[in-house]
Homo-oligomer: A and B are copies of this chain.
């Protein structure tokens, strides 16, 4: 996969994609390893975790590495992968505008750019979650009212969820682009029942034993409603998104942020 800088030929998509997993001993990492081993056209060639030498990855023949580690090391991992000419799919949280910008700059270096290496950073690999968010943003300009309800298990310490915040922000941006007024709201008493305000969009957080991670976006016009709901019951639900990302990142040089950008939604 390491391509000589002199070559102008982009790296072809390999028939079998060799995959290394970083954070392979974690709960998410183990699930990813299982999924890759079971997937047609993918081969698991390295399991890397804290304490291992990075040569395990570098010398594995991996075309793509999947990083589900921790915020403190994920950026360093990505730079090491780029140096090794390995595409990266990143599910670890904690990325900032600055850390993403450093990855962009690294990707722009002549040798890396010539190798057409790709990095995909996604805060969420759940197809249902990503599609719900994407569709909600697209529907936003066509409805007078919108609110978001997220529902999670009661052990969650933050509210509302990051996904719900992200969804509300995307909806708010789409409404602003379309020059829309805020959703109507005549509430005079009882504002504490009206949820959090995220960029002008009301977000309600429900905590219920037995739930995992769920989100519902409600749109309203006179005489009609549109509701988009997604349910994530198990982390195994992220695997179709991870596998899709592995297959897509090899054809997408540069930095891609968000799984929605590798989906065909036109």
Give A residues with C-beta under 8 Å from B.
126-129, 131-132, 135, 138-139, 141-147, 149, 151, 154-160, 183-197, 202-211, 218-237, 239-240, 263-266
List 6 interface pairs A-B (beta carbons < 8 Å), by A numbering: A156-B186, A187-B205, A208-B220, A210-B221, A228-B229, A233-B233
Q: Contacts A192-B196, A208-B147 known; A223 to B202 CB distance under 8 Å?
A: no
Can you name the residue of chain B whose Cβ is closest to the Cβ of A174? B264
| Majority SS at the chain A contact face | mixed
B222 close to A237 (CB less than 8 A): yes
The minimal Cβ–Cβ distance linking A123 to chain B, given in whole angstroms, is 16
The minimal Cβ–Cβ distance linking A147 to chain B, given in whole angstroms, is 5
Partner of A147, one of B127, B206, B227, B266: B206
This protein's copies in its complex = 4
Can you name the residue of chain B whose Cβ is closest to the Cβ of A157? B188
The minimal Cβ–Cβ distance linking A218 to chain B, given in whole angstroms, is 6
The minimal Cβ–Cβ distance linking A264 to chain B, given in whole angstroms, is 7
A196 close to B196 (CB less than 8 A): no
The minimal Cβ–Cβ distance linking A235 to chain B, given in whole angstroms, is 7
In the docked arrangement, what's the CA distance between A149 and B225, Å? 16
Contacts of A191 in B (CB 8 A): 159
Partner of A222, one of B188, B207, B234: B234
A145 close to B207 (CB less than 8 A): yes
- Closest 5 interchain pairs by CB? A223-B237, A159-B190, A223-B234, A224-B237, A208-B220
B184 close to A209 (CB less than 8 A): yes
Q: Contacts A190-B196, A196-B193 known; A209 to B145 CB distance under 8 Å?
A: yes
The minimal Cβ–Cβ distance linking A109 to chain B, given in whole angstroms, is 32
B220 close to A210 (CB less than 8 A): yes
